[in-house]
Amino acid sequence: MRDDIINAVGLTKVFNGDVVAVDHISFSVREGEIFGFLGPNGAGKTTTINMLITVIKPTEGHATVCGYDIVKQAGEVRNRIGVVPQEYTADEDLTGYENIILCGDLYGIPREVSKKRAAELLELVELTKFKDKKVETYSGGMRRRLELACGLINRPRVLFLDEPTLGLDVQTRAAIWDYIRLLKEEFNMTLFMTTHYLEEADALCDRVAIIDNGKIVKMGPPDELKRDLGGDIITLEIQAGDVEVANLIEEIPSVKEVKKQDNTYRIKVEDGEKTAPMIIEAIRNKGYAVTRLSLTKPTLDEVYLEYTGKSMRDEQGGRMSVWSQRRTIRKARA
Amino acid sequence: MEPKEDHQEGEGVMQNQVSTNPLHGLGALTHRELKKWYKEPIVLFISVVQPVIWMALFGKAMNIGGIFQNPAVPRAVAEELMKSTFGTPDYFSFMAVGMLSFVTVFTSMFSGMSIVWDRRLGFLGKVLSTPVARGAILFSKIFSAVIRSLVQSGIVLLVAFLLGLRLGPSFTPLNLLGVFAVLFLMCMGLSSIFLLIAIRSTRWETQMAVVNLLNLPLLFTSNALFPTSIMPEWLRMISKINPITYGTDAGRQLLLYQTNASQLAVDFTFLGIFAAIFSTIGIFLSWKYLSK
C-alpha cells in the first residue's frame, strides 16, 4: 500500500441523476510510474481525472492521492498535484511568462520562488525565447509545452495529464513525449495520463487501464496486455462467406480463435507468417475467393478491440466535452 | 494509512513552499481580470466612451426642463415645478447621477459572463485544481467589476461636470468619497447576484438573455431616470426594494441636494446589507457549486 500514490476504490460519478460517467472503478498507481487511462471519448477518462484532481466530487466510492482523501482533504491534494488539462487553459491575452507566474500565485508560492522556477521551467520546455509573447501567438506545440510548465510550477508529486497530445501533429507529439519521459526521469514524478491514442499509451505508459463505458475492462503493462492476446491476428475478407468457412479455418492447428463480422474474419493465430498461406489455401480449395488479408502483430489496438469489442473510434461525448475537444484541436493546429 | 511526509528528500524532489493565507490568489485572479481590460486598448476605450456617449446624448436629448421654457409658464413656476419633482432645477444633473448607477449596473451584469467563459475555456477547471479558496474565485470577479465600474463612474462624473452638472449647496470634495463608497456597495451586491446566476452555467447565451431581460426593468423600477414620487403606487413599491433606488438617492444626496443625513443613513444601511447578504451567499455557494 505504501507505494501507491493514487488509490481509488469503487469510484463512481453519476451526472444529473442518471448519466453514469464512471462506474465503480478501482485502481492504484505506484509512485514513479506513468499510468495511462486509455479509452475513447466519453468513456469516463476526463471525469476520472477531474475527480482525482478534486475538481468534481465522486457520487460514490473514494480515492486518495499522496495519501490524502480527495474529498475530505482536497486542499492537501491540491497542493501536491499538478494538472495539465486537455484544453489550452493559459490565458491568451497574457504572455507565457505571466501565465506561469499567475499559476504560481494560485498555489500561493512566494514571488521570488515562482520567478526563479518560471525561468527554469521555461528553459525546460524551451520557451524562454517566447516568454514575453502573448499566448495567442503560440503554436499548438508551444501552448502544450506552456501548459506543462504551468502544471509544474508547484513541483507536484503527481502530474495529471489529460490527453496531452490531442490534435498535435506527429512530430510535436513525439516532442511532448520526450518532455514527459524527461519529467519522469528527472523528478521521479508520478504521471497519470489519459489518452485515446493507443500508440501514445504504448510508448509512454508503464501500465495502462483500458476504460470503456465508465468501467475498467483491463489493466496491466502494455507488453503484458499484448502478450495475453496470445499471438498474431489475421484479418481476412472473403467474397461471400458462411459458417462453413469459419469451421474450415478453425480446423487449422495453429489457429486459436475465429471471430466473424460480416464478411470479415478476425483470426487469432500462432506464427502468423506460416499460418496465413495455409488459411488462404484451405479457403481456395472450397472455392471461395480471398479479397483481402492482413497480418498484424499485436498492438494495444488489438488489445483494445479484444476487450471492448469495438475499434477505437470517437464516441459521443457530452456537449461540453465536444466543444472543448474541438476548441483544443483548432488551437493545436492554428 | 499515514500520509507520507510532504516531499521526500532526494534528487529532483523539492520542498514546496505554500502560502497559508486563505486569500492567496485573490489578488492574482483580480489582476488577471483587470489586465484583460486595461491591456486591450479597444476594450478600454469602448468601456470608457460608452457611458460618455450615453451621458451626452441621453442626458442632453431628454431636456425635460425645456418643456417649461414657454412664455405661458412663469420662470419662477417652472423652476419650482422642476425642483419639486426632481429635487434640483435641472434634469441633466438629476439624470447624470442616475447615469452613475446605470454604468454600475451594466458593468456588474457582465461579470457573470466572464465566469461562464472561464468554465467553457477550461480556465475555471484549472483554477479549481489549485488550492485557491473557492470564495476567492468569485471575489476576484466581484472586485474586478467593482474597480472597473468605479473607474468608469469617475469618468462619467467628470464628463457630467464638463457638460454642466450643478452641484448642490452642501457639496464638499469629501462627498465624492461617499459617492464612490455607495457605488462600491451597489456594484458588489449586483455583481454577486449576477455571478450567482452564472455559477453553474455553461452557456453564455443564457447569461446574455438574463442581462437583456433585467437591465432596463432594473433601471425603470428605480429612481435612476425618473423620480419615484410621481410613479404609480405599485411601481413605487417595487422601487423600494430595488437597490439602485438607494444607490442613486445617496448619490444625489451627496452631489445635488441639501444632504438629508437620516435619508443618507437609510441608503447606506440598505446598500451595506444588500452587498453583505449577496456576497456572503456568493462565498457560500461557490464552495458548494463551483465544482459539479
Of residues B15 and B21, the one with the higher pLDDT is B21
* B2, B21, B291 member nearest A56 (Cβ): B291
Mean pLDDT of chain B: 84
CA–CA distance, B111 with A141 (Å, rounded to integer): 32
Closest approach of chain A CAs to the CA of B116, in angstroms?
Answer: 12
Cell numbers standing for residue A330: 483548432
Most distant pair of Cα atoms in chain B: their distance: 94
Search chain B and give the residue with CA nearest A161.
B126
- At B105-130, the pLDDT tens digits run 888 888 888 888 888 888 888 899 89
What is the pTM assigned to this prediction? 0.78
Mean pLDDT of chain A: 85
Confidence of residue A226 (pLDDT cuts 50, 70, 90): confident
- Asked if residue A322 has pLDDT above 80, the reply is no
Check: CATH 3.40.50.2000 for A230-297? no
- Asked if residue A328 has pLDDT above 80, the reply is no
Q: Over range B53-61, report the average pLDDT.
A: 79
Exposed / middle / buried, residue B123 (Cβ in 10 Å: 0-12, 13-18, 19+): buried
pLDDT for A288: 80
| Range in A172-176, A301-305, B277-281 the model is least confident about | A301-305
| Range in A30-34, A46-50, B21-25, B242-246 the model is least confident about | B21-25
Q: How many CB pairs under 8 A join A and B?
A: 120
Q: Per CATH, which fold does A4-225 belong to?
A: Rossmann fold (3.40.50)
CA–CA distance, A257 with A260 (Å, rounded to integer): 10
Confidence of residue B12 (pLDDT cuts 50, 70, 90): very low
Exposed / middle / buried, residue A309 (Cβ in 10 Å: 0-12, 13-18, 19+): exposed
Q: Over range A110-116, report the average pLDDT.
A: 91
CB contact under 8 A, A55 and B27: no
pLDDT above 90 coverage of chain A, percent: 37
What is the distance, to the nearest Å, from the Cα of residue B148 to the centroid of all Cα atoms in its chain? Answer: 9
pLDDT for B8: 38
pLDDT for A134: 92
pLDDT for B6: 41
Measured between beta carbons, the chain A residues lying within 8 angstroms of B13 are: 155, 157, 187-188
Search chain A and give the residue with CA nearest B125.
A55
- Asked if residue A220 has pLDDT above 80, the reply is yes
- At A46-82, the pLDDT tens digits run 899 999 999 999 999 999 999 999 999 988 999 999 9
Taking alpha carbons only, the member of B202, B16, B3, B221 closest to residue B105 is B221
Q: Where are the domains of chain A?
A: 4-225, 230-297
Q: Over range B40-58, report the average pLDDT.
A: 80
Cell numbers standing for residue A231: 499471438
Confidence of residue B14 (pLDDT cuts 50, 70, 90): very low
Cell numbers standing for residue A191: 504521471
- At B197-235, the pLDDT tens digits run 888 888 888 888 888 898 889 888 999 888 988 889 999
pLDDT for A1: 47
pLDDT for A240: 67
Confidence of residue A334 (pLDDT cuts 50, 70, 90): low
CB contact under 8 A, B28 and A106: yes
Q: Does B126 touch chain A (CB under 8 A)?
A: yes
